[in-house]
Structure 1
Amino acid sequence: MHPWPELGDAPATEQLRLLAEGKTTPLINRALDCARMDGAARHENLNLFTGLKVPASHATAPQGLTSDEIDSWCSQVRLQGFTTVKLKLRAERQMARSILQQWMEADEVLRFRLDFNETGTRPFFEDWLSQMPQAWQQRLDFIEDPVCWSEELWTWWGQTLPVPAAVDRQGQAADKWGPVGSATWRIVKPALESGPPAGRWPLQRVVFTSYMDHALGQSFAAWEAAQSHSVTAGLMTHHLYEEDAFFNRLAQTGPNWISSNVLPGTGLGFDDLLNGLTWVRLAG
């Protein structure tokens, strides 16, 4: 359980208090799901990744790079085998265009997934996309969370704009796996929610991502992505942190989350490292 208060989660101390009181949050619910599934597999001496294939991931672009650094970074990720890059932008017209232009011109093959974190508006995207070259539009998988969630606004997007939208933050949606405006992509963070029920969303348009959490939580996200046979995922976030023994078990370069597709051990792996930790009982 790895809360992000910056994204609206209750802090860790509050999450633990609620857990001790028998109350839940989305993070607690999914942590318990993970623990039950992982524990059952360990009890049976089974590795959960056996027979599964974790989908490749996109690369996450660093922010604040110079043009030369962008050129170098794109060359490196292409050599490592990445085909897709996630790029975070803000809805400031000139700046967003300038940054995207640098990335588009640095490599003519890489595809991009833009994430605006709900900073945009209808007028902004009408103007910005109308001035975007069609060749750039064709290299965008989607624009994630372009505007704040509303059924009307997202329906307008799907009917009007040339680049697909991806929904992640949809807290106001009554049915998270029902029609989401005209969004054609769905972002799933297994740390917060399970994947789609059968038939509720086409898996070729579901992107499983980690929650930038502990390696065990990232392993849980990778396992759910592998079960769903979804498209290019967003699991390569461990490089954002300093190295530790857990993260060092994961692939350090390239789009594949682990080099062998199976983490050694039982359950979600890391047996020896978990056994070496000091465990504290939270409640009787």
Structure 2
Amino acid sequence: MIKLSYYEYVLTPFTTLNAVSAGLPRRGALIKVEWPQGFVGYGDLHPWPELGDTPLDEQLAALKKGRISAQMEQTIWLARKDANLRKKGKTILTAGEKVRNNFLVSNSAEIVPGFLDELKRQSYSTIKLKVGRDLAAEATAITRMAAAGFKIRLDFNGTGSWQIFEKFFSGLTAQEKVWIEYVEDPFPYEADTWADAKKLVKVACDAPYEKVDWENSAKVPFDILVIKPAKMDVDKAIERCKKFNLKATVTSYMDHPVGSLGALAVAMECKELYPNIMLDAGCLTYRSYQMDQFAANINTTGPFLSNVKGTGIGFDLLLRDLPWQKLN
């Protein structure tokens, strides 16, 4: 029987993180998993109730009664990957091929003079912009990013409607559209209207993943699958990419640095195993929050993870010294 412990944390965002959140502090829990064979690994449980997840308190209460949610299953799965590396004295930098990450912009107001020049200097080539709150300002941001030569990923988080999306996208110039790599969750999922959107631009599926009729469809109305290891069965997602000829990107869940590096380990492994499927990743989302001691321990060189202190996903001393509380 595995032993489970948790440490509850709070992350403070710099700004509103997307079109469905209010920019308030966010709660989550680090999970320590101990197996009978002496393996110890760590994962992150960071629900987004705004996106349909079961709230943190409910998941922890269920765990204390022996009930494990699908999201918690993924947390344990990621902790096992971490534990395997720790047991071998290795880090996630040995887990697969080096991957490039996009730069996440949660609010178009962040794109001030000099901002894009600095990203170029750091060797970023792709920006993911959260959109849907101020379409006029976001259109201006797209103009600037395209002029600077960045690939652009737009994430609407399923807000708005087909009519709003069509009007917004039609207002962009041909030169701006060339730089848009894909649009993620352009509006609430409905196969026919997503198919219409797909005629205008490449579409990526994230939140509506479970709403897709995977078993009975000959094709799906999108081109790219956003794989979030924090809540998705990665092996099943890859098989669906193969079946429907989809590209994929692995991203973290805008969660704790432990979650970000757990997702990055999966991104590196997938890049090595499925190079023809995988696009650049998006696993540096911990930067959306005020820096804590964990974030301060992550070393990056532009869009790449450059060093890990410790074993597995790292943070050895920080994790060791946390006041863990038992779950079972």
TM-score range, shorter chain: 0.7 to 0.9
Structure whose residues are more often strand by fraction: 2
Residue equivalent to 2:99: 55
Q: Does residue 1:152 correspond to 2:195, yes or no?
A: no
**TM-score normalised per structure 1:** 0.85
Q: Deviations over 1:193-213 (max 9, x none)?
A: 132545531598211111122
Amino acid at match of 2:253: Y
Q: How does 1:151-230 map to 2 (within 5 A)?
A: 151-158=191-198, 160-161=199-200, 163-170=201-208, 171-175=210-214, 181-197=220-236, 199-201=239-241, 205-229=247-271, 230=278
Task: Judge conservation of contact 1:210–1:221 (CA < 8 Å) in 2.
Answer: yes
Contact 2:95 2:269 in 1 (8 A): no
* Alpha-carbon distance in 1 for matches of 2:301, 2:218: 37
Q: 1:111 aligns with which of 140, 145, 151?
A: 151
Is the CA contact (8 Å cut-off) linking 1:27 and 1:192 kept in structure 2? yes
Q: Is the 8 A contact 2:309 2:315 kept in 1?
A: yes
Instruction: Supply the AA of the counterpart residue of 2:317.
Output: D
After superposition, what is the alpha-carbon deviation per residue over 1:166-192, rounded to whole angstroms, capped at 9, x for unaligned?
110113224389766320011111111
Moved more, 95-104 or 181-190: 95-104
- The answer to whether the 8 A contact 1:58-1:84 is kept is yes
Does the CA contact (< 8 Å) of 1:70 and 1:102 recur in 2?
no
Secondary structure at the residue paired with 1:259? Answer: strand
Deviations 1:81-134 (A, max 9, x none): 11111111117xxx5244323442354311211111112322223333333211
Please tell me the residue identity of whatever aligns with 1:278.
Answer: P
Quote the residue 1:254 is aligned against: 302
Residue pair 2:124, 2:302 contacting (<8 A) in 1 also: yes
Pair 113,177 (structure 1): closer, same or farther in 2 beyond 3 Å? farther
TM-score (structure 2 length as normaliser) = 0.75
Match of 2:279 among 231, 251, 257: 231
**Is this contact kept in 2: 1:178–1:200, CA < 8 A?**
no
Partner of 1:83: 125
User: For 1:49, what is the secondary structure of its paired residue?
Assistant: helix
Determine the C-alpha separation between the residues in 2 that align with 1:20 and 1:277. Answer: 20
Per-residue CA deviation, residues 231-279 of structure 1 (Å, 9 max, x unaligned), is 21111112222222221121366211x223xx23332222222112222
Question: Is contact 2:103–2:127 with CA below 8 Å preserved after alignment?
Answer: yes
| Residue of structure 1 equivalent to 2:72 | 28
Gapped regions of structure 2 (runs ≥ 5): 1-44, 272-277
What is the CA deviation profile of residues 33-55 of structure 1, one whole-angstrom value per residue up to 9, with x for unaligned ones?
A: 12223223333434343152341
- Any conservation in 2 of the 1:113–1:144 contact (CA below 8 Å)? yes
Alignment gaps of 5+ in structure 1: none
- The C-alpha deviation readout for 1:5-37, integer Å capped at 9, x for no partner, is 232222222111111222222221111112223
Q: Identity across aligned pairs (percent)? A: 28
Q: What's the RMSD between the two structures over aligned residues? A: 2.6
Other-structure match for 1:8? 52
**Whole-angstrom distance in 1 between the partners of 2:96 and 2:103:** 22
Q: Secondary structure at 1:85's aligned position in 2?
A: strand
SS at structure 2 position matched to 1:113 = strand
Q: Secondary structure at the match of 1:109?
A: coil
Are 1:239 and 1:252, in contact at CA under 8 Å, matched by a contact in 2? no
Kept in 2: contact 1:153–1:181 (CA 8 A): no
- 1:206 alignment partner, SS class: strand
May I ask how many residue pairs the two structures share in their alignment?
273
SS at match of 1:181: coil
2:316 is the alignment partner of 1:271: yes
